Amino acid sequence: MERLYSKGVFKMKRVSFIVLFLSCFFLSCEKEDEFKIPVDVSFQVDMQREQTSGSSIRFTEGHVILSSFEFKGDREQAESVHFEKEYKQGLYTLFSPNQNIGELKFQVPQGNYNRITIGFETFENDDSDDNQGGSGLLVKGMYRSSGGAELPLILELQSSEDFEVVAKSLFDGNQIILKRETPTAATIRLNPFYWFQAVPSSYLENAEVVQRNGVATILISEEVNEDIYEIVVSRFNKGAEVVFAY
């Protein structure tokens, strides 16, 4: 009788263990599936427009042509997320805080991200004519000289340039929380004021002026005003941010 009782207890323990194991297994699967649920994330591209104090330049408009986009994210409770997208013909994007870009809308697995890094590369264009639409990066503005005269200013990038920016949240600092029920918008914002901050005022005062569409213009490119161009390009990455809002 005692032996039968022992066998019964053993069977019950084994059944309990199996039930517990299966419960944990299915719970684990549900947890894994939860972190695979996608969140719609839309990226916009803009530039800093508010003029900084003491700046002799104000920026008005521009565009970037992307040849590639990369997302890298580290999550607290699940595996990292990494994907890339190439735009072989170039993705032309006007600087705008409101423009929705279908080719920059992605489904990203939900979760608490400790770090998200956004990388992108500008499109290289060997065509050096006056077709500004072909420039990988173009920023337009106005320069005011010490004498009060104003001249149009154009920064033009024909070669490719790599950007890599650690993103931040509008609310949570470097931690970015993506949830299925909360569509998210992220803004890539370039800051030309920062780029030009290190340019000595004498360089701009004495900058070469060219005719662009019949208008005297300060053109900054690889071939014109190269000294200014090199300073500006060296500050590209630090003068960029990516902000998530949800």
Can you spell out the DSSP letters for 114-159?
EEEEEEEEEPP----SS-GGG-SEEEEEEEE-TTS-EEEEEEEE-S
> Residue 148: what pLDDT?
94
pLDDT digits (tens, 9 = 90+) for 168-181: 999 878 899 999 99
pLDDT over threshold 70, residue 62: yes
Handedness of CA 210, 215, 220, 223 (dihedral sign): negative
Mean pLDDT for the stretch of residues 127-151:
82
Handedness of CA 120, 125, 129, 134 (dihedral sign): negative
> Residue 129: what pLDDT?
46
> Higher confidence at residue 230 or residue 125?
230
The mean predicted confidence, pLDDT, of the chain is 87
pLDDT over threshold 50, residue 226: yes
Q: Are 69 and 120 in contact (CB under 8 A)?
A: yes
pLDDT digits (tens, 9 = 90+) for 29-51: 444 567 689 999 999 999 998 88
pLDDT over threshold 90, residue 20: no
Residue for token pair 């565009």:
63
Mean pLDDT for the stretch of residues 58-86:
97
Question: Which DSSP letter does residue 173 get?
Answer: B
Q: How many CB atoms are located within 10 Å of the residue 241 CB?
A: 17
Rounded to whole angstroms, the Cα distance separating 7 from 239 reads: 73
**Percentage above 90 pLDDT, the chain:** 74
> Residue 143: what pLDDT?
98
